[in-house]
Amino acid sequence: MQNDVVPPSSQALAAQFVTITEEEAGQRIDNYLLRVCKGVPKSHIYRILRSGEVRVNKGRIDQLYRLEQGDLVRIPPIRVAEKTSSAAVPGAEFKIVHEDNHLLVIDKPAGVAVHGGSGVSYGVIEQLRAARPEAKFLELVHRLDRETSGLLLLAKKRSALTNLHDQMREGHTDKRYLTAVSGNWVNKRQHVKLPLHKYTTPDGERRVVVQAGGMESHTVFSLLRKWEEFALLEAELKTGRTHQIRVHLASSGFPILGDEKYGDFALNKQLQKATETRGALRRMFLHAHKITFTHPDSGAKMTLQAPLPAECDRFLVSLGQPVG
């Protein structure tokens, strides 16, 4: 029985039968269909589920049914409108920090989105899938902002994805970031607990603001080096909210250098050109440099690190001797 089913298209108008593999087991049938029937409206997926056209082991099921290994799924013929212009995703590999049968950990460069959407045609996950067509399963464990560089975890098995999500939800992972900020940072160690509210602007841009009643958020900052106008900090995430580090710092009066969304825009423009006393910085200075977690299969404690990118390192060197 062929397990790797081709998503239904206008060229495939016969019912298809798929045997569920070990990696596909555990998903709800609606989520499985949404994934394999790319381009089919969600409303249509739920209609064929309600109508009984989708069968599992020749019987009717509802949308909450969880697939089991060996289940035989009947997918009815579905027409998908052909896209007139769909550019192929170029395959790409990224610097690998760790890889085994369960995990892939890469050092993501700044300026690359982790996935397509919001005006981005494709991201890291789509490029890796294109570069590894033999990979049966490859999913993002977490996300990094487009302009943030550093450690990005991907799961190569569904069991690993579920396990790591559980660890993150229960606070059993430790994520550390390096960031350079503007201002006279004083405290060696500082806790910032500011509630964050996420919203979308009329043009579809995701934004976050400190607001009473927002999501509880907690970041711990440690001072690593200090200059007259800047400071290098390590940020430890206690919660994992969207743009958390960026908004916590900006709201505390210490914007991240090069942050085009929450930063000091006039300063960012100045930083793009080198001066006699410092080098140029043409990116946001935020880098996911260390993560600690439990391996989802072996149970071993793992700590992975990614060195500061060369452009960030050069900028710090150009600042000269720290004052603290």
**Residue 256 structure tokens:** 């991240």
Please state, as a whole number, how many other Cβ atoms lie within 10 Å of the Cβ of residue 67: 20
DSSP state letters, 275-309: -SSS----S--EEEEEEEEE-TTT--EEEEE-PPP
**Residue 292 structure tokens:** 């600690």
Helix/strand/coil percent split, the chain, to 5? 20, 30, 55
**Residue 259 structure tokens:** 């942050």
Q: Choosing from 145, 259, 264, 313, which is the catalytic residue?
A: 145
Q: How far is CA 157 from CA 45, 111, 164, 196, 296, in A?
A: 25, 27, 11, 32, 10
Distance CA 75, CA 71 (A): 13
Distance CA 31, CA 193 (A): 35
> What is the DSSP-derived secondary structure letter of residue 239?
S
Amino acid letter, 68 = E
- 4: annotated active-site residue: no
Contact 237, 247 (CB under 8 A): no
Distance CA 50, CA 46 (A): 6
> In sequence order, which residues have a C-beta less than 8 Å from that of residue 134 and are 6 or more positions away?
none
Helices and strands (H, E) in the chain, number of each type: 7, 16
Instruction: Give the residue numbers marked as catalytic.
Output: 145
